[in-house]
Amino acid sequence: MKKFTDEELRQLLNQGLSPADAARKLEVTRSCISRRMKGFKSKSTLNIVSANSFREADRRLQVMTQLLSINKDARRMLKDLGEKDPTRIKVWAEIRRQLDFQLKIFEVLYSVETARRFQQTVMEVIEEISPDVREEIISKLNERAVVRRLLDPDQ
């Protein structure tokens, strides 16, 4: 088994890698990573959650910057058309439809991505505490999914 330091593991986790990804990168087993992480203080987990939160906030700011830029360009285009141009209203309506569509896409993507990240973080914390409990949770969730599909095949 390959040797690695706590600092190497912390760096990988702080970069946003999951324990499973860190294990692959370090060429060790997931249980080896779990045992090592148990020795970490809760500060390590807080760093992971904080890093993910900052990345999410940064992404949202980038989206807002894009939308503000589109809005600025649209206003400039409308100004260039002039007050009396009959196409002005059509252009503005199309821009609004495009922005609404983009906003709906972002809302869906972010809600799904945020939920996925939260689930991943919760499972990682559970794995730090007890890899066996994590595996049991996954097993129970899989059982319920199978039962749900049997009872309602349209899901």
- Whole-model pTM: value is 0.34
> How distant, in Å, are the alpha carbons of 65, 98, 144 from that of 78?
20, 15, 55
**If you average pLDDT over each of 63-67, 88-92, 110-114, 137-141, which comes out highest?**
137-141
Percent of the chain predicted with pLDDT > 90: 2
State yes or no: pLDDT of 155 exceeds 70: no
Note the pLDDT of residue 154. 62
List of residues 6+ apart from 6 with CB closer than 8 A: 36, 39, 40
Alpha-carbon dihedral 117, 50, 106, 76, rounded to 10 degrees: -170
3-state secondary structure 79-90: HHHCCCCCHHHH
In angstroms, the CA 109 to CA 26 distance is 31
For residue 61, give the amino acid letter.
Answer: L
By the 8 A CB rule, do 82 and 88 touch?
Answer: yes
Residue 153's pLDDT band (cuts 50, 70, 90): low
pLDDT of residue 1: 63
Rg (CA), the chain: 24
Residue 120 has a pLDDT of 86
Please give the DSSP secondary-structure letter assigned to residue 153: T
Per-residue pLDDT tens over the stretch 44-95: 444 555 555 566 666 666 777 777 787 788 778 777 877 777 787 787 788 7
Spatial contact of 28 and 37, defined as CB atoms under 8 Å apart: no
